[in-house]
Structure 1
Amino acid sequence: MIINTLKSKFLLNSLYNVSIRTRLLIYFLLLVLLPTGIITITAYNISSRIITQRINTSLENDMNTVEANIIKEFQTIDDLSSYIYLNPNLTYILSDTPDSIKAQIFPKSSADIISELSILNKVLENYDFSNLNTTNITPKIYMRDKPEYNSYSFSDKVFDLGRIDTQQWYLSLPYRFKYSVVGLNKIKEDSGHKYTILLAKKLYALKDINISYAGLLTIDIGLDDFNAILENIKPTPDSVTYVIDNNRNINICSDSSALGKNINDIIPAFSSVDLLNEKYGSFNSSINNEAYFIAHKKIESIGWSIINISPRNKLYGILDTFKAVMYMGFFIFFIIGILMSLFLSENIAYPIRRLAKSMNNVQNGNFDNTLDYKRNDEFSYLVDTYNLMIRKIKELIDKLYVSELNKKEAELKSLQAQINPHFLYNTLDSVNWLAIRNNVPDISKMVTSLSDFFRYSLSKGRNIISIADELNQVNSYLSIQQIRFKDKLDFSFDISHEVRNYLTIKLILQPIVENSIIHGIEKTGLKGNIIIKADKKEDLIVISVIDNGAGADIEELNALLEETTRPSKSYGIKNVNDRIKHTFGPDYGIQFIKNEGPGLTVTITFPATNSLDQK
């Protein structure tokens, strides 16, 4: 229930409050882009998974090849060590241990020692390496309990075991006949140092009954052969391959500066990889703010691991190209979808918008704006019915408006016809002379103002008069009211000279001034003041009637002007507003404005014109 309520509110507040054209555009875009987006994302994910799987398979195969070549290299060296080990001269010397009976009966002289060193040195120098891929190897023999060897230095390949028997790598060698891969070894040379991979093999006195431990054979293998193995198998030109030992120290790589370093220092993310239990794995990582694909494989037989680091953008070049093509395709579909959606939504919403615009024009009083719709679809019936309705409404309004206008004109003319102008003027003139003769100036002034008021009001039957005559008429009216109220009413005019000769309809100011006196000033009981201003602003005449009366509700007064029925109050001002709109158009008329101080301001706006038809 709550979900349905929230869903309903969301749809009402977001989707249903926009235009039909916008909703249609959204529907069409969703219809086109949603399936396209789903298909594009699905295709990319499937392609990414397939390409990643192929990359992993390719890298694993490459690492298997590296592993096989390294093991093969070690096996070849082991064969060489076995060949040296089984040399008869070496076997004889190994069996002639210090513990043997012969050695105890016949101690060795210096000549014997030198001869023995010479034989061992020759054994190591004359080994057959025709079946090897390289000659970059250095064999050495360390004989057990041969301290006398230290007195002679003509051989750099034969030593006493005491030289190395305290080193950690020696102490950790297993008790077995098979070779042991010690790891990275640093050899001092005349030109400096060089790194090798050290292999060791324990030697036993095979002719001795006890087969006692007699010495150690070591072989240093140059890194060039191993680097060649790594260089020949590279997924990308910028790929780097490392071979690390079980302590994660780098033993083999093309960059000599990285030799001996811990791989975790180069690839921090590698510290979380379990090399003991994970035979093969891969992951993405960032190194120096660049993305890399890292794969690793364990060499089970020696406990080392192979690590390959490849730039992801080059390794996934095909996937990136496919992604770019998909993005371009999606962008093209997006543009086509927008264009199609715009076309379809516009095609459907266009007649609705035209109908709404026409309704707005009708609302503003323009009933001559009928729709011309040439399509033959469902909207054609709607438009035809709407046009027929507008024509009928216009006919009814014209009949009603003309009837009401004729009625008002008849009322005005009937009122004017009831007064005999000549009789009225003569009578008022006689009263004026009597007032002057009896020295009563107030009566004379009132009679004169009243005579002028009627003269300007009748205007010889004309409905169109100059603004100057309209101002004179209201001046006469205010003069009469000033005599009536004595010192409680003042009035003044602020009239621009250029507006006096423009035309207006008569009797538009007097009802407003009368309303200001009766409903504004009289209610306060204070001295009233009325200011009448007239000015020309661009092509408009603006006349303002300002009072300091009691004021009123501005919104209510302005609303009364828009009522279509006859109001119960302010009928005179409503009549003035209707006559102005009828004569000059619906954009003109009266407006009430609240003063900053007491009272109201009534503005009358109509076009500045010097020619108007008499109506």
Structure 2
Amino acid sequence: MRRPFPDSNPLRFKLSTKMFLITFGLVESIILLLGFSYYRYSANTLQHAQTEYAKQMVQKSDQYLQLTLAHIRSFFLSVANDNRLRTGTESEIRHWLNDNLIYFMPNASNIHVIADESTIISTDAGGWKLAESSYLMQQLALVIHPGELYWIGPYFSPVSGYTFSVVMTAADGQGEPRQLMVDLNLQSLYTALIPNGSSQQQGSLLLLDAKNRPIFANPPYANYSVFSKSFRLNDIPESLFASNWKQYELMDDSRQLFLTRSRTNFVGWQVVWIMDLQTLLSPLRKLLDYTGLLIGLSLVLSLGIAMLISVLVSRPIRRIAATMVEVSDGNLDVSIPIKRTDELGLLARHFNLMIGRLRGLIDDLRRTEEERNKADFIALQAQIKPHFLFNTLNTISMVARQGALDKVDELISALTDQLQYSLDSSPAPATLREELRSLESYVELMGARYGDAFSIETDIDPAVLERLLPKFTLQPIVENAIFHGLVPSGRQGTLFIGAADQGEQWELMVEDDGIGMSEARLQLLLDSLGGTRQAERIGMLNVHRRLRLMFGEHYACRIDSSPGNGTRLIMTLPAVRKAGTIPIQEDGR
């Protein structure tokens, strides 16, 4: 009888043990490999994306700088040849600077006209202090060639503070030299050089002049010294910028900097973006600190294989619960990604269907709100009535028969600008600057039509020019002032438009010295704006409703008027800028 074949390979590992070891090795290897690969890929991707962004941003910033400097040059060439600068009195030139020129120079702090140290005309009441700056006076003495631009600074001006000045010499009516000088607002220019969204990118912008001296910058790579009243580079030698490079890496024991620059503008200013690569990659380096934790987690994950059956049931339930929590917090852009044929799958499908229907209802409400806003806008556009076009064209025809072809060209251009702005179907808000530009065309047409019936004066705080308000806010109000206040008075009146910054709010005022309104008529207008009576002035009611719709309770309106004393309308609006958001109220107010 044969003996049983001996078990030469006894069972050393159970199947569960083998599965555990295999699963542990696979999970451990995959986690470590994915972690290291993710770190390398993320680091390279992030660094490449940031450096490419820095190159594009510097190019865009330099292009904006070129446009700004070209605008300054064009401004000087046009103003230097203006007869008001040559023949105007000090009072006329000062009025011209404050009410006209400073408005067209958004990056300017002040504008000065200097005949000598004792005759300084300025947009600042303290312009006479310019003579206290010995540096400025020395530089002005070097401005000897008429029609040529001179760039002075950067330096500390007793009038405009830390600034950079542009000077041109022009002769007055008697042949005596006059120097036109503009002080640049370097803080405003520096802020404008940084494109929207770049504040969330790693790095800092540095603006240098042609001699590699810092014009403006933010810490940590440059600081402003209150003692020397100038910017100084921190741990970056000025000699670094003497060589001709576009991208440069500066490395030492404590840092690794990436610099990219552009200097294609005609004055040789340099726009430099500096990134600290170590700071950029520091969040990713923290992943390496979790390597030991990942090893421990891999052990836990291997043990968790035994709980697979329970997980197959508990995980979908937790996913459904988490999704419900998100929905209860207001996030309707979620769904339960469960594809099962059991009861849990049925629950998930019906839940997703319910969320989809709810999103559809909200979209319908949003479209209804947008259509109502667009309808209000279209209703306002309808105020461009045929008789306005007829009277305007008739006025242009009369001017043409008189042979004033230049005036005809101006009126046609004004009408074209007005129609282009009016027929734009976009209901998007506009800036106060855009509203004022459109209003100039309208007032020019009305002035040509009514002759000397009225004149216009403005006092606009530059800080509010980029504030947002609904399109066609000013024109209906100005139209009411002209037709119901100034023209019926039978005398030459004044239309005043002012705007002032109040911090979190700003005020917009339209005032005329026309015939005014009686107390009863004023009350009727106020009641129509409040919705208690039918409106007589549809344009004003339309503006009022759209302002309420856009700003809600943050908007307020006050109207003062009396017979023979004219009418004043003051609107208080929240300080919403172009890059901000519009606080639309849920109740539609």
TM-score (normalised: structure 2): 0.31
Length-normalised TM-score, structure 1? 0.30
